Amino acid sequence: MTKILKDKLKKGKLFVPYIMAGAQGLERLPEEIEMLIEAGASAIELGVPFSDPVADGPVIQAAGLRAFEQQVTLKKIIRVLKENKFSVPLILMGYSNSFFHYGIKKLINDLQVTDVKGLIIPDLPYEHQSLILEDLKEVALLPLVSLTSSSERIQTLVSNAEGFVYAVTVNGITGTDQNYRTDLTNHLTKIKELSAIPVLAGFGISTKEHVEKFEQVCDGVVIGSKIVHSLDEKGIVETKELLATII
């Protein structure tokens, strides 16, 4: 996955959208993914609904509840991904319990016939990654680096990382109504200096001004809540039009 993103980076900054898988029904998921690819996605994060999403803000929490109401499960998400092929890497973003309950070895085995190339697990500490690393094979475990991480901690998190580094731009949960710290640019610059793989800024990015700001110091951006809200309120066509004004 790292090579794919580095190759894409040669052509321009990276854009990774996040959507909650099944929030509008799993039958619509392939169409949503294809729309995001047409909108310029370099890779796509698919949220796995979970009962206690500690890193998610109200928009994504609500999307997870809608997915739960439609009985969306990790098993059903993977079934849809097995039945469809896409032209960009997919990343499953979810919480430890979902993946461990499924079974890590079974999960990775099932993902071999999908386009899923990465996992993001916000509640899995670096010190516990050994629980799954030896089973991952060609699936990357993408690190999140917080604002409170020291230089030493950042170096540890990115030293053997694959895919891209997810640089969290706020302390707290996701969402579009965020105030960014004045020293954020210095923090992101530090991560870039220490990382051998692409660094993407995420959490709260919702406008063209945000994108331009973070692309000055990072290799691209992750946009989630803005897209999730638009898909819920407006639909696929309108969301594609919205992205054209941001990216």
**C-beta of residue 34 within 8 angstroms of C-beta of residue 239:** no
Residue 160: the pLDDT is 87
User: Angle at the Cα of 122 (from 58 to 42), degrees rounded to 5?
Assistant: 85
Residue 6: inside a domain: no
Out of 32, 45, 110, 215, pick the active-site residue: 45
Residue 209: inside a domain: yes
Residue 193: inside a domain: yes
Residue 39: the pLDDT is 98
**C-beta of residue 168 within 8 angstroms of C-beta of residue 146:** yes
Residue 30 belongs to domain with CATH number: 3.20.20.70
Q: Judge residue 219's burial from the number of C-beta atoms within 10 Å of its C-beta, 0-12 exposed, 13-18 middle, 19 or more buried.
A: buried
Split at pLDDT 50, 70, 90, the class of 179 is low
What average pLDDT does the segment 52-56 reach?
Answer: 70
pTM of the predicted protein model? 0.94
What average pLDDT does the segment 34-56 reach?
Answer: 90
Better-scored residue on pLDDT, 179 or 99: 99
Split at pLDDT 50, 70, 90, the class of 181 is confident
Residue 46: the pLDDT is 98
Residue 177: inside a domain: yes
Across the chain, mean pLDDT equals 93
Give the CA distances from residue 100 to residues 68, 129, 170, in Å, rounded to whole numbers and listed in that order: 19, 12, 28
Q: How many residues does the chain have?
A: 247
Give the CA distances from residue 217 to residues 57, 75, 221, 241, in Å, rounded to whole numbers and listed in that order: 25, 38, 11, 26
Q: Among this protein's residues, is 56 annotated catalytic?
A: yes
**C-beta of residue 96 within 8 angstroms of C-beta of residue 121:** yes
What average pLDDT does the segment 161-166 reach?
Answer: 96
Q: Among this protein's residues, is 45 annotated catalytic?
A: yes
Residue 2: inside a domain: no
**C-beta of residue 227 within 8 angstroms of C-beta of residue 245:** no
What average pLDDT does the segment 173-178 reach?
Answer: 52
Amino acid at 196: A
Give the CA distances from residue 193 to residues 5, 62, 184, 213, 226, in Å, rounded to whole numbers and listed in that order: 18, 37, 14, 18, 29
Domain span holding position 19: 14-246
Residue 9: inside a domain: no
Query: What is the domain count for the chain?
Result: 1
Residue 201: inside a domain: yes
Report whether pLDDT(55) > 80. no
Q: Over the stretch 62-91, which tens digit does the pLDDT of each residue have?
A: 999 999 999 999 999 999 999 999 999 999
Picking from 23, 28, 7, 93, the residue whose alpha carbon sits closest to that of residue 64 is 23
Report whether pLDDT(171) > 80. no
Report whether pLDDT(187) > 60. yes
Out of 32, 38, 52, 56, pick the active-site residue: 56
Residue 138: inside a domain: yes
Report whether pLDDT(54) > 80. no
Residue 208: the pLDDT is 96
- Tell me the CA end-to-end span of the chain in Å, nearest whole number: 22
Beta strand spans in the chain (E): 14-20, 44-47, 90-93, 116-120, 140-141, 144-145, 165-168, 199-202, 220-223
